[in-house]
Amino acid sequence: MDTIEAIKQQITANPIILYMKGSPNQPQCGFSARSSQALMECGERFAFVDVLSNPDIRAKLPEFANWPTFPQLWVAGELVGGCDIICEMHESGELKTLVQETATAQASAE
């Protein structure tokens, strides 16, 4: 499976996925730390991919997403955005609503 196909599969298989540097428990950059913290505060499970340990994904995802930086949050197959957007949505309450609605929809589909 090529890298773009792997990315598509990850996004399809995980209703909430964060491409970040490091992990939520050990982020490797401030932007990834702030983004993963905002997501964790929403109270729902989410997948993540450490782009530092996946150099092919780190190289190809910006091209696929047409978004040059990390982290990248994908919800229900759609790119939400990076750190600034994630944090703004978190502060307004919009992120929690989106994440909870997506998690609820996923749970009822299973």
Q: Considering its fold, how many domains does the chain have in total?
A: 1
58 is in an annotated binding site: yes
CATH number, domain of 94, equals: 3.40.30.10
Tell me the residue range of the domain where 40 lies. 3-105
Residue 64 known to bind ligand: no
In a domain, 110, yes or no: no
Residue 84 is assigned to a ligand binding site: yes
pTM for the model stands at 0.96
Q: Rounded to whole angstroms, what are the CA distances from 89 to 15, 63, 86, 98?
A: 18, 24, 5, 9
DSSP string, 23-90: -SSSBSSHHHHHHHHHHHTTTS--EEEETTS-HHHHHHHHHHHT--SS-EEEETTEEEE-HHHHHHHH
Per-residue pLDDT tens listing for the chain (110 residues): 799 999 999 999 999 999 999 999 999 999 999 999 999 999 999 999 999 999 999 999 999 999 999 999 999 999 999 999 999 999 999 999 999 999 999 888 87
**Residue for token digits 């490797």?**
28
70 is in an annotated binding site: yes
